[in-house]
Structures are given as structure tokens and as C-alpha cells.
């Protein structure tokens, strides 16, 4: 009877160790931070965050340094507030700027940060005040295709008297 319980206990310990190992590998390989990880939060207000989603990349000098944590509307200023979760080793200063960019011609949107450096370092939960959104390529193509873009030349023959009119 004793041998039966020792085998069951040994199998139970191996199963438990196996589950712990699988959980550990899932967290490490999936890059899932436990207990918040080594990040801090900044905010930025944009006139438009079209195409940006929670989880979109944040890049500094072409390197991914964080992700978009939240998107919400600032009713008073009629702007979108974006929560930016940045790696703890990334320093952003009060003269920093943030821009919504597109990866490729029809690719995903991401936020590019120029971290600045001339001012004081931003504290967690501070706002990046200098933001910009590039012109919407779809609007530009639509205006050009449907004639909303003003032409610089006159129509051929405009302003000239017709031949044979005697003028």
C-alpha cells in the first residue's frame, strides 16, 4: 500500500514541475512581463491616431522601445490621448516630440519618438507636448484624383479670341 502512494506522489511532483517549467517558458519566450516589468508610462495628445491600436510599436531611432498602452478621448481639447509604455532604460526629455508614422506604404501605424535631450527628463505619467500627425495619404490621393488640387496653368486657348472672329 505504501509503494502505491509513493509512485503517485512522484508522478504528481513531476507533473507539477513540468507545469511550472511550461509556465516559465511561456512567460520568457512570449516576453510577457510579470508584475509590470521594467517600464514606465508617458502620455501624448494627438489630433488623430487613426490606425494606431493598443499594442502598436513605439520606436526611438528605429528601435522598438515600447508599446501603446491605451487610447482615449480628451473631450475638453478634442484630441486623442495615447498612453505610451516605454522601457525603463529609455530617457525622454521635456523637449521630446512624438509622431504617428506608417510602416511601409499600407503598413501598420506606430509612434516615433524623438527623445530630445536639451530639457529635463520627463517623469512617469507626464505628457509629451510636441506631437504631429502626417498628412493622410488617402485624402491626398483623393484630392488629386478628383480635381480638388488647384492647377497652376490655364486651359489651352483660354483668354484668346477665336480665329476668324475678326478681333
Cα–Cα distance, 91 to 65 (Å, whole number) = 10
DSSP state letter for 97: E
Cα–Cα distance, 117 to 115 (Å, whole number) = 6
Q: Which cell is 7 given?
A: 509512485
Q: Is the dihedral of CA 116, 120, 121, 123 positive or negative?
A: negative
According to the model, what pLDDT value does residue 159 have? 45
- Cα end-to-end distance, the chain, whole Å: 124
Cα–Cα distance, 115 to 12 (Å, whole number) = 52
Cα–Cα distance, 88 to 135 (Å, whole number) = 32
Q: Is residue 128 within 8 Å of residue 111, measured between CB atoms? A: no
According to the model, what pLDDT value does residue 155 have? 46
The residue extents of the domains of the chain are 1-32, 39-134
- Over residues 40-45, the mean pLDDT reads 93
Q: Is residue 67 within 8 Å of residue 55, measured between CB atoms? A: yes
pLDDT tens, position by position, 77-125: 999 999 999 999 999 999 999 999 988 777 788 999 999 888 899 999 9
Q: Which cell is 79 given?
A: 484630441
Give kind and range of the element (H or E) at residue 144. helix 137-145
pLDDT tens, position by position, 54-70: 999 999 999 999 999 99
> Whole-model pTM?
0.64
Cα–Cα distance, 80 to 46 (Å, whole number) = 5
Amino acid at each position: 500500500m505504501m509503494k502505491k502512494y509513493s509512485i503517485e506522489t512522484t508522478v504528481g511532483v513531476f507533473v507539477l514541475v513540468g507545469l511550472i517549467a511550461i509556465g516559465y517558458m511561456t512567460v520568457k519566450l512570449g516576453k510577457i512581463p510579470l508584475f509590470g516589468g521594467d517600464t514606465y508610462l508617458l502620455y501624448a495628445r494627438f489630433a488623430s491616431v487613426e490606425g494606431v491600436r493598443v499594442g502598436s510599436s513605439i520606436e526611438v531611432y528605429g528601435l522598438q522601445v515600447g508599446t501603446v498602452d491605451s487610447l482615449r478621448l480628451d473631450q475638453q481639447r478634442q484630441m486623442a490621448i495615447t498612453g505610451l509604455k516605454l522601457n525603463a532604460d529609455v530617457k525622454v526629455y521635456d523637449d521630446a516630440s512624438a509622431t504617428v508614422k506608417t510602416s511601409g506604404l499600407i503598413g501598420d501605424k506606430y509612434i516615433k519618438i524623438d527623445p530630445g535631450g536639451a530639457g529635463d527628463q520627463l517623469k512617469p505619467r507626464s505628457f509629451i507636448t510636441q506631437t504631429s500627425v502626417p498628412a493622410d495619404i488617402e485624402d491626398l490621393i483623393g484630392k488629386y484624383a478628383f480635381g480638388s488640387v488647384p492647377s497652376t496653368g490655364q486651359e489651352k486657348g483660354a483668354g484668346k479670341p477665336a480665329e476668324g472672329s475678326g478681333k
